[in-house]
Amino acid sequence: MLKLDPMPGYVVIKRKVQDDISKGGIVIPETAKAKTQQGTVVAACPPLTPDTVGASEYPELKPGDDVCFGAFAGTDMQVDEDSYLVVMWQEVMCVVRPNGKAKKS
């Protein structure tokens, strides 16, 4: 098993797997499935300076965080038998947290 250590400003994400059966009980074939836009952070390395994207502070991302990202964000990578998505820090749109557990600024 290889360990992925991203370069500064990049995040490694494991996409969530889409269900084979819809909520209505219809079986969805592989060819009709769309790639999900949610995943779990595997590894993250924050940018070196806030000046790289003009933000004064970056949100904290750590392994295990559930995140949302754009449909065309990042690069898909295959490592061993697992598939990962490597995105720039700025391409992560939000961190999904349980209700009532929002991080205070």
- Output the six-digit token pair for 92: 């992560």
- For the stretch 67-93, pLDDT in tens is 999 888 888 888 888 889 999 988 888
Edge-to-edge strand list for the sheet holding 38-45: 75-79, 82-88, 10-15, 38-45, 66-69, 92-96
Q: How many domains does the chain have?
A: 1
**In a domain? residue 38:** yes
- For the stretch 9-38, pLDDT in tens is 899 999 887 667 767 777 777 666 667 788
pTM over 0.75: no
Q: Quote the Cα angle for 92-101-51, to 5°.
A: 35
**In a domain? residue 101:** no
**In a domain? residue 1:** no
Domain that holds residue 38: 10-18+25-96
Q: Higher model confidence: residue 80 or residue 105? A: 80
**In a domain? residue 43:** yes
CATH of the domain at 78: 2.30.33.40
**In a domain? residue 102:** no
Mean pLDDT of the chain: 79
